Amino acid sequence: MAIPMSASNTQDAPGAREGLLPFQVRDHFPGRARGTLELSLIAPVYDEEENVERLHARVVEIFGERAGWELILVDDGSRDRSPELIRALSRRDPRVTGVFFARNCGQTAATAAGIQVARGKLVATMDADLQNDPADLPAMIELAARHDAVVGWRKKRRDTYLRRISSRIANGIRNWISKDSIRDTGCSLKVFRAEAIQALPLFEGMHRFLPTLLRYHGYDVVEHGVGHHPRTAGISKYGVWNRVFRATKDLIAVRWMRARLLKLPIREVTGGR
């Protein structure tokens, strides 16, 4: 089912022409009742016309017999045929939901939109390029029965040497500054309890730090080894240097959040009977 933004909806939501705040999305599309499905699979899409149908086929292959799931494809202002293909899939398969941005806003915004329209009790994120295989998700979903979030780490990366070594250095720096121990912040495969991830306020660039932010707020996060494949269609949207600069800026914000977490020294609560 595609999600259009009608003229009346645009008028109803303050600031809708500039864009909705994540927590306004639910009110803007009230038909998306939370907890009515078991699983929501979210994939941001930006110029992935060669991968959209392949991703859908792979998801159906893995989850086709499982009841109560949906695939949310969030088009992040693509310039190719991705929106057309997503609309066609949503007409052909009622388990597919299309969300369409008016302009390119980045991976965090696309992920946040998918999280807010998700109806599943569990929310799984993945990239549309199939470098991470959705086949790893069932084992992660089993683990999510005992944890608030399960995040993938790529056991054997199928990237260039420069990308692998830069990622290893970046992960070390991120963990040192953020005081966390996530091995692979760039791995897209993650499974969350919906109530945990939907309650987390998100800002631009924060998709890299979702596990760390959840831990800051007291949630239980574990890691799970996953496979990794070379990209076989389309082109990567991120180079080494633009990833480094953006992540460094975002990391400073994450460190600021950690230093200013509210911790309430409540000694006693009385009354209320």
The predicted-structure confidence for 222-259, as pLDDT tens digits, reads as follows 999 998 766 667 666 555 455 556 666 677 766 667 66
Q: What is the CATH number of the domain that holds 178?
A: 3.90.550.10
H or E stretch at 70:
strand 69-75
Tell me whether residue 270 is in a domain.
no
Spatial distance between the Cα atoms of 101 and 245, rounded to a whole number of angstroms = 25
Give residue 196's identity as a one-letter amino acid code: A
Residue 116 lies in a domain: yes
Residue 2 forms part of a structural domain: no
Query: Cβ-count burial of 221 within 10 angstroms (0-12 exposed, 13-18 middle, 19+ buried)?
Result: buried
Among 172-176, 181-185, 197-201, the range of highest mean pLDDT: 197-201
Q: What percent of the chain has pLDDT over 90?
A: 45
Query: What is the extent of the structural domain holding 119?
Result: 11-259
Q: Hey, CA dihedral for 21, 74, 41, 8, is it positive or negative?
A: positive
The number of domains in the chain is 1
Residue 205: left (phi > 0), alpha (psi -120 to 50), or beta?
Answer: left
Per-residue pLDDT reduced to its tens digit, 81-136: 999 999 999 999 999 999 999 999 988 899 999 999 999 999 999 999 998 899 99
Coil/strand/helix, residue 40: strand
DSSP strand E in 117-255: where? 120-125, 149-154, 190-193, 221-226
